[in-house]
Structure 1
Amino acid sequence: MTLMAGNIVDGTVINITNFGAFIEVEGKTGLVHISEVADSYVKDIREHLKEQDKVKVKVISIDDNGKISLSIKQANVQKKSVKPAEIDWKPTEKRKPSSNTGNFEDIMSKFLKDSEERMQDAKKHTEFKGKGGKKGQ
C-alpha cells in the first residue's frame, strides 16, 4: 500500500522528542507533532507514548521533500452516527400573563410616569447646581 494523505496505517514509535514522536510506517519515518497525539492538551508526550509502542496513525500530508506528517488523534476519531435533534413542532400553549403583571399598555403607562418623575427630579437637581447654590443657605 502506498502512503497517501488521508490513509490510516499502523506504525511503531521509534523515537520521542519534546515536540513529538517519530513513527515508522511502511519502512518510512514520519512525525506525529505533540498537538496530534491526543484530543486533550499534552504537556509531556512520554505520558502518552513510549518507544516501540504500536500505534494507528493517519497520514496528514507528505511534502515534496518526502516529509510525512502523521496524527494519532485523527486516526482514533470514530465516525459517530449523527442523529438530528428531535424537535417537537407542535404548537405549545401560549403564555397567559399572570394576574399581577397586567397588559402592555398598563405596564407602558407606569414606565412613562416613573420615567417622567425621574426626569423632573434630575432637572431640578441640575438647575440647583447650575445656580451655584448650596443646600442649607
Structure 2
Amino acid sequence: MNVIAILAAAAAGFVMGAVWYMTLAGFWLRALDIELDEKGKPKMEGSYAPFVVSAIVMLIVATMMQHILTSSGVEGAGASLVAGLGIGAFLITPWVAMNYAYAMRKVMLTVIDCGYAILGCGVIGLVLGLF
C-alpha cells in the first residue's frame, strides 16, 4: 500500500469536489431547495462536519481504488484514469441515482452529484496511476 499515493489521490479528489461544487453551487443549492438570502447564500448556518466527512470518505475511496487497481493489474496514469471514471460511472453513479430516485430528489441533484462521483473517481485514479 502506497500511503503517499493514497493521500495525494484523496487530496486531489477533495479539491476536485471543491472546484465542482463551487462552480455548480447555485444549481446545487436550488436542486436541494435550500432557502437562500438576497445574496444567494444559504440562510441556514454552515458546519465543518461535511468537510471532515468528505476528507475521510476520500481517504476510504482512494484506499479501495488503489486496492482495486493493484489487484486488477491496472498500471499507468491513463489506464488508472479510465478505471476511475468507470468506477464512478458504473458503480457509484447507479447506486446514488437509485437512492435519489427513491428519495424523490430532483434530477439536477442526481446529475450534479453523480457527475462529481465520476470525475472525482477519475481524478483519484489518475493520481494513483502516477505513482
What TM-score bracket applies, with the shorter chain setting the length?
Answer: under 0.3
Between Structure 1 and Structure 2, whose CA radius of gyration is higher? 1
More strand per residue: 1 or 2? 1
Higher helix share: 2
Tell which has more relative contact order, 1 or 2 (C-alpha 8 A, sep 6+): 2
